[in-house]
Amino acid sequence: MVNLRLRSFIRWLLVVDRPIPARSEEEIRAEVERHYRWNFSVNLLDGAVFWLGLSFMSSATIMPLFVSKLTTSQLAIGLISIIANSGWFLPQLFTAHWVQRLPRMKPVVVNLGFFTERLPVWLLPLAALVASRSPGLALALFFLGYAGHALGAGLVATAWQDMLARVFPVNRRGRFFGLTTFVGNTSGTLGAAFSAWLLAALAFPGNFVATFGLAALFITASWVFLALTREPAQPPAAPRQNGQQFWRSLRTILREDGNFRRFLVARLLVVLGGMGGGFVTVAAVNRWSVPDGVVGLYTTAFMLGQAVGTLAAGFVADRVGHKLPYTLGVVAAAAGYGLAWLSPAPAWYYAVFLLLGGALGAAVVSGTMIALEFSAPHLRPTYVGMINTAMGLMGIVSPLLGAWLASRSYNLLFAVGTALTLVGLAALIWGVREPRRLQAQTKAT
C-alpha cells in the first residue's frame, strides 16, 4: 500500500499524463476564449502576489546588502547575480524535450513547481535568524535557499511560458503580462517602501528576518492562484524524438533560422553588458556610505521603474510586437549603467535604479514573450529553452567578469557594461526583424 501510494505520488509529481484524443484548432480556440477572463484574473493575482514577494528579497538591493553584512567577498556578492541571471534560465533547454511532448503544462508548473520553486525561499528568513551567531552558516543557508528557488523556477519555466502561450491569444499576451507585472510591481513598490522602513527601523538581523519572511509568505501564497489556471489540453504536434535527434535539431534551427540566431546574439550581448547589475547597490554604499534605509528607497525607485516598464511594454507589444519595447528597455539599461559610471552624488542613483528597473520591466515582458513568437507552436519550448539556457550560461560568465572588474574599479565595471550594452543594442536594431511581422509575411506568401 505504501509503495503504491509512493508510486502514485511520483507519477503525479512528475506529470505522467494520459494521452488525449485529437482536437481541432477551433475547439481549442473556443475553450481558450471561454476561460480567458478566468485565466486572466487568476494569473494576474498569481503574478501580482509573486512580484510583491520578490520586492522583499530584491536581488539588486536587499540581497547584496544582506550578504555584504556577512562577508567582504566580492565573489559572494557576485554569486547573487550568477544565481539571479542563470538559475531561472539555465535548466530550460534541458526540460524542453520532455515538456513539448506533454498535452498539458499546468501539472508541471503547479505540482512540481510547489516543491522546487516555492518551498526553498523559506530558507532565507532562517538564514537571517542565525546571521549574528553564525555568519558562515547564514551564508550557506542563504545561497542554498536562493539557488534552490531560482533553479527550481528554471525547471518549470519552459512549461510555464508555454502554458501562458496556450491560455492567452498572441495579440493579448503582452497586455496580460505587462498588466500583471505592473500590478505586481506597483504593490511591490509599496512593499519595497515598507522593506525600507523595516531595514531602517529594526536592528540587524531582525530586519532581514522580517523582509525575507514576508517574501517567503507572499511567494508561497501566489501558488494558490496559479493552481486555479484552466489550461486546454491538446495533443502535442511535435513528432517524437530521441535525445540525440533533439540535440541535432538545435543545430539545424541555428543554421536555418537567421533572424532567431541574430536575436540570440544580441540578447547575449545585452546580458553580458548587465555584469554590473549586482554591484550597483554595493558601489553606492562603498562610495558614499548610504544607510540601509536609503537602500530600501533605491529598491522603491527600481520597482517603480519596473512597473512603468512592464505596463508600457505590454500594451505597445500587443500593437507592434515585442522588438520595439525590448529595444527601448536596452536603451534604458545602457543609460542606467552609464549614469552609475558617471554619477557625482548618491542622489543620482535614484535615476540609475529607475532606469534599470524600467529596463528589467521591458526585458521581463518583451524579452520573455518575444521568444514565443519565433517558431511554430509545437517548437515553442525548444526555442524558449535555447534562448534562456544560453542566457543562463552567459549569466554565469557575466557576474564573474563583473566581480573581477569591481575588485579593480566600480567605474571600470560600469563603463565596460555600458559599452557592451550599446553593442547589443546595435545588433538588435540592425540585425533583428520583428518576428510577428515576419511570421505574417511568411504566411501571406
Round to whole Å and give the CA distance between 180 and 185.
Answer: 8
Question: Is 3 inside any structural domain?
Answer: no
Cis peptide before 205 (omega within 30 of 0): yes
How many C-beta atoms lie closer than 10 Å to residue 397's C-beta? 16
140 CB-contact burial (10 Å; exposed 0-12 / middle 13-18 / buried 19+): middle
Question: Is 63 inside any structural domain?
Answer: yes
Residues 155-214 have pLDDT tens digits of 999 999 889 989 998 888 888 888 887 887 778 778 888 888 898 889 899 999 999 999
User: In this structure, are residues 439 and 260 in contact, taking their beta carbons and an 8 Å threshold?
Assistant: no
Q: Flag residues of the chain having pLDDT under 50.
A: none
Round to whole Å and give the CA distance between 399 and 388.
Answer: 17
Beta strands, E only, 198-348: none
Given this model, what pLDDT does residue 7 score?
59
DSSP string, 377-443: GGGHHHHHHHHHHHHHHHHHHHHHHHHHHHTT-HHHHHHHHHHHHHHHHHHHHHH---HHHHHHHHH
Question: Is 306 inside any structural domain?
Answer: yes
Question: Is 162 inside any structural domain?
Answer: yes
DSSP letter assigned to residue 121: G
Question: Is 12 inside any structural domain?
Answer: no
Q: Which residue range(s) make up the domain with 398?
A: 34-232+242-444
pTM for the whole structure? 0.77
Question: Is 276 inside any structural domain?
Answer: yes
Question: Is 6 inside any structural domain?
Answer: no
Grid coordinates given for 429: 536594431
Given this model, what pLDDT does residue 14 score?
53
Q: What is the CA radius of gyration of the chain?
A: 21
Residues 221-270 have pLDDT tens digits of 999 999 999 998 876 655 666 677 888 889 999 999 999 999 999 999 99
Question: Is 327 inside any structural domain?
Answer: yes
Grid coordinates given for 427: 545588433
User: In this structure, are residues 81 and 271 in contact, taking their beta carbons and an 8 Å threshold?
Assistant: no
User: In this structure, are residues 53 and 218 in contact, taking their beta carbons and an 8 Å threshold?
Assistant: yes
Report the number of distinct structural domains present in the chain: 1
Given this model, what pLDDT does residue 433 score?
92
Report the CATH number that the domain containing residue 67 is assigned in CATH. Answer: 1.20.1250.20
Given this model, what pLDDT does residue 288 score?
83
Given this model, what pLDDT does residue 59 score?
84
